[in-house]
Amino acid sequence: MLQLQTIRENKEGIIIALKKRNLDVEPILSAVLDLDEKRRSIQTELDATLAESNKLSKEIGILFKSGKAEEANTLKEQTAGLKEASKQLGEELNATAEALQEQLYLIPNIPHESVPAGNTDEDNEEIFRQGDIPELAEGALPHWELAKKYDIIDFESGVKITGAGFPVYKGKGARLQRALISYFLDKNTAAGYTELQVPHMINEASGYGTGQLPDKEGQMYHVQADDLYLIPTAEVPITNLHRDDMLTASDLPIKYTGYTPCFRREAGSYGAHVRGLNRLHQFDKVEVVRIERPDASYQALDEMVEHVKKILVELKLPYRILRLCGGDLGFTSALTFDFEVFSTAQDRWLEISSVSNFETFQANRLKLRFKDENGKKQLAHTLNGSSLALPRVLAGILENYQTKDGIKIPEVLVPYCGFDIIN
């Protein structure tokens, strides 16, 4: 959520910046400023009314003590009117503040100056590529056919149990999945991230805190009886650990990692690009989250990008990094780098990680602040990244490591799997 003071001081700059997202926010910013002015005006009137009421109450006490009951009762009639007026003003103030908050929730984050203009993912900017794309033998199969051939993922049973997008991993497929989770967590903890196990459901306040609500409400599974949401990513519960916290400069940076299943409705997803593991409603992901000082957050973002690169180099998967354009940038992000692995059998790139800096956008919603060395209160910067999302990494391994004798296991994963080939 953008800060009100920023909107007051730089309305035109925000309008220009958000044009990178192909949005005209002038009407909503004007509505925000009008509501803010109304809220402050009501607050001023309410403060004056309460002050007058308090003043009269003191005078009434003095008059009663002086035996001037008639004059005191006359003033009491005035205070009754003031109390009714203050009640009405308080109700109006609350309604105005709520309307203002609802409008603020609708405004996305301001893109970083380096974000390229563009409308769709086709306008994203490739900034790095590494790894040779393997040449597969004739008759190479996509991962969903490999999964069936080697009986390692059962998509049909997942449909029977739950529905499309809920696969069942079997045998060496399940062990490879578990190996990837352990490997990712070990890499992250070795890099200084503290491992967490967090709830897989969140309340509404947590959804608003990190920006999934109201923006992504239609993409989240909602348990209506308890008003809880299944998490779309571990970022949400992990970052909300510090909602309403006042940290100190010495607490920062904070670095967390955690594995969770993730749940996304993916409403409207269909077609060949969602086959197999390409897009699921339930999938596993290991996440990294950082809370940083504002002057250190972009160095932290670079460190997170380099960290994911090292993992992909160890897995020996061909990958590229994209800087997302304004039209493809997430609602809460100021700058995002997507990692994509090349699926040789599908002849297409698959997104396997997003690494983002949200600057103060989430922290403002979360009321996540810290006191600097001078005791000044500041909003922290929050960042997160997939390290990594498993389904498409697994798809890339199955397809790129397939041979006529079976699917080889990346060398770095063999100690975690306990086998070196699926055949």
Place 59 in a pLDDT band, splitting at 50, 70 and 90: confident
- Mean pLDDT for 30-52 is 96
Distance CA 385, CA 110 (A): 19
pLDDT of 180 reads 98
> Is pLDDT at 242 greater than 60 in this prediction?
yes
Stated pTM of the model: 0.93
Q: pLDDT at residue 113 above 70?
A: yes
pLDDT value for 269: 54
What CA–CA distance (Å, rounded) separates 391 from 395? 6
pLDDT at 333: 98
The rounded mean pLDDT for the chain is 95
Q: Do 343 and 391 meet the contact criterion of CB atoms below 8 Å apart? A: no
Peptide bond into 410 cis (omega under 30): no
pLDDT at 60: 83
Q: What is the mean pLDDT of residues 305-328?
A: 98
| pLDDT tens figures, 209-231 | 999 999 888 999 999 999 999 99
Average pLDDT of the segment spanning 374-398:
97
Q: Are 137 and 333 in contact (CB under 8 A)?
A: no
Contact indicator for 352, 396 with CB cutoff of 8 Å: yes
Would you place residue 337 in the very low, low, confident or very high pLDDT band (cuts 50, 70, 90)?
very high
Percent above pLDDT 70 for the chain: 98
The CA-CA-CA angle for residues 21, 26, 30, to 5°, reads 140
* Residue 268: pLDDT over 60: no
Confidence band for 267, pLDDT divided at 50, 70 and 90:
low
Section 80-96 average pLDDT: 94
